[in-house]
Structure 1
Amino acid sequence: MKFWEKAVAMVTIIALPGCGWLQSPAPKHISDFVAPGVTVEGMAVGGLTRAELDNVLKSLAQQHYRPPKDARFDDETGKVTDGEPGRRLDITATAERVMAALPNSNITGIYQDIQPAISAAQLEQARRLGSYTTEILDASPGRLHNIRLTAKLINNAVVEPGAEFSFNRQTGEPTAERGFKEAPVIGRDGQMEPGLGGGMCQVSSTLYNAVLAVGWPVTERHPHSQPVAYVPKGRDATTYTDKDLRFVNATRQRVVIRAVVHSNRLTVDLWGLSKE
């Protein structure tokens, strides 16, 4: 037998059926319908089409979605606290698992972790860009309560690069339903009178001075009708329904506001986040 004839014979032998190591496994057939009796996370889905199954899984995904929680500055101590990852259902991967399931199978969904947008490491490595502290000279119960509440409302607020921050948008209206109490405020005639949210302006004024320390553009600011004792003259910033404190983050990094009350002192810091 000539050489080329031997070669052909060898190829023929190798390719003969039965040489399974050269043959690809037959593709597994997946039905167009979910097998009878199949459940996913306790929900019966047997007999459904893929489109019907997707609709069920979308509803399941909404029920089981858990948003991530960013790391944050603690409202009371100002220390960094860890965030928590979130969780979402992988609809495509879960659907494929269900469609391939045997009859009467109980399928567990396939979930993906969602990492927080701000990690504890980012906050711990953040650089303090500006800070200001004011003494709470009038610590009457209502006023101190409002200062603490307002500080919590701006604590951990994130200002994106080039974005404008609005104090009023962040804190909202001072209503009793939202937990604000009556405390002395400067009335239209310049005299002190009781009003919901008295003390909020000390928080806005302290924030304003922290912004001045950084040198960012202030796009809106209003002085009180009378000087206030907790900041130097001309360094206050009153807020009300029609008066806001607004400024722009002029850096290229996200900035987190930290506002903490401790020993009758209010401190507001601006922290620039590092990029992980």
Structure 2
Amino acid sequence: MKRVIICLGLLGFILLPIHSISASKDMPAEIMIKRVEINQYALDNIDKLFINNSKLQTLIGQLKQKVYQDPINAKIDRVGKITPGKPGVTIDADQFQIDFREAFYNPNIQEFKVPVKPVYPRVDKGLLTEISQKQLGSYVTHFKKNNEERTTNIELAAQAIDSHVIFPGELFSFNKVVGERTEKKGYKRAPVIVKGELAEDIGGGICQVSSTLFNAVNLKGIEIVERYAHSKHVPYVPPGKDATVSWWGPDFSFKNRYNQPLLLRAHAKNGQLVVRVFSSDIVEHFEKDIQK
């Protein structure tokens, strides 16, 4: 286990003590609050009998930022093998206040450990197993694999939406799920359509992923919330079946109107992009007139 030293003064108010934090790649830090630190959270000018609650709440907020670790959702690969999810961690704020107050009023307590609790992933192995049973929709498009830059962008965007789960009533946003397309993430400069003209930009080609996704989710239980067509015809889908996206512009979004979560599967290889939609065997859509 890796040992690091940190001063709680970095968290806000306490400048005197230095204490150790135990940390590892797989575990959150163990933070010990010392007696000298506890004493500095007393209200001024009242004989140190009361806790400065404003300072305490600020400390809790800052500790949350230091301790918090995101949970990791379970993932399913191309052949159906599921990698289990992993809980994250956050501070147990209620228990921390109990422990802090007990230590503040009991001089025999020289230190206490900041209590933490797990943050469970929304998507676990059991859920993925259940909602990968029934295919609701699919769509296939093709691209020129010898265009390496565009192929890279398509593969990255497909990876970003693959294994994504959309819960009932939840809105899927392509831009939010895929994120900003940057060189740091591996995206390349490739052709894009701007006001009906061809140009080059980072992430060129990902509109093929959003368009393929649009056709795959064009189902009775899906409400298309936001979709924009290109200003020029694109060759990979029929006219009127495309969905253009841009980080600073149009998005493609839809809402799950089924009674079960939806699982997206996306894979790009050898010039072929496949997007499929799955759910459980008991999936039904909510009765509602949905405008495509």
TM band (smaller chain)? 0.5 to 0.7
1:161-200 matches, within 5 Å, as 161-172=168-179, 174-176=181-183, 179-186=186-193, 188=195, 193-200=199-206
Q: How far apart are residue 235 of structure 1 and its match? A: 3.2
**AA matched with 2:156:** L
Q: In the alignment, which residue of structure 2 is the partner of 1:67?
A: 70
Secondary structure in 1 matching 2:218:
helix
Name the CA shift for 1:271/1:98 in 2 (closer, same or farther; >3 Å). Answer: farther
Distance 1:67 1:274 in 2: 30
Deviations 1:199-245 (A, max 9, x none): 112101210121125662334241562341x3455533333454443
Greater displacement, 116-125 / 93-102: 93-102
1:147 maps to which of 148, 154, 157: 154
How many residues are matched?
Answer: 235
1:208 maps to which of 179, 190, 214: 214
Distance 1:267 1:78 in 2: 15
Q: In the alignment, which residue of structure 2 is the partner of 1:28?
A: none
Q: In the alignment, which residue of structure 2 is the partner of 1:45?
A: 37
**AA matched with 1:210:** A
Structure 2 residue 166 is the aligned partner of structure 1 residue 159: yes
Q: How far apart are residue 193 of structure 1 and its match? A: 4.7
State the identity %. Answer: 31
Q: How far apart are residue 254 of structure 1 and its match? A: 3.2
Q: In the alignment, which residue of structure 2 is the partner of 1:225?
A: 232
Distance 2:218 2:51 in 1: 57
Name the CA shift for 1:198/1:61 in 2 (closer, same or farther; >3 Å). Answer: closer
1:123 maps to which of 128, 131, 135: 128
Name the CA shift for 1:94/1:60 in 2 (closer, same or farther; >3 Å). Answer: farther
Name the CA shift for 1:224/1:211 in 2 (closer, same or farther; >3 Å). Answer: farther
Structure 2 residue 243 is the aligned partner of structure 1 residue 237: yes
| Greater relative contact order (Cα < 8 A, sep 6+) | 1
Ranges in structure 2 where 5+ consecutive residues have no aligned partner: 1-16, 20-30, 43-49, 283-292
Q: How far apart are residue 86 of structure 1 and its match? A: 1.8
Structure 2 residue 104 is the aligned partner of structure 1 residue 109: no
Q: How far apart are residue 52 of structure 1 and its match? A: 4.3
**AA matched with 1:216:** I
Greater share of residues in strand = 2
Q: In the alignment, which residue of structure 2 is the partner of 1:8?
A: none
Name the CA shift for 1:69/1:263 in 2 (closer, same or farther; >3 Å). Answer: same
**AA matched with 1:92:** Q
Name the CA shift for 1:97/1:209 in 2 (closer, same or farther; >3 Å). Answer: same
Q: In the alignment, which residue of structure 2 is the partner of 1:85?
A: 87
Q: In the alignment, which residue of structure 2 is the partner of 1:133?
A: 140
Give the number of the structure whose alpha-carbon radius of gyration is greater: 1
Distance 2:231 2:146 in 1: 19
Verify the 8 A CA contact 1:68 1:87 in the aligned structure 2: yes
Normalised TM-score (structure 1): 0.66
Distance 2:107 2:206 in 1: 63
Q: How far apart are residue 150 of structure 1 and its match? A: 1.7
Normalised TM-score (structure 2): 0.63
Q: In the alignment, which residue of structure 2 is the partner of 1:247?
A: 254
Structure 2 residue 261 is the aligned partner of structure 1 residue 269: no
Secondary structure in 2 matching 1:60:
helix
Ranges in structure 1 where 5+ consecutive residues have no aligned partner: 1-36
Name the CA shift for 1:145/1:41 in 2 (closer, same or farther; >3 Å). Answer: same
Distance 1:56 1:169 in 2: 30
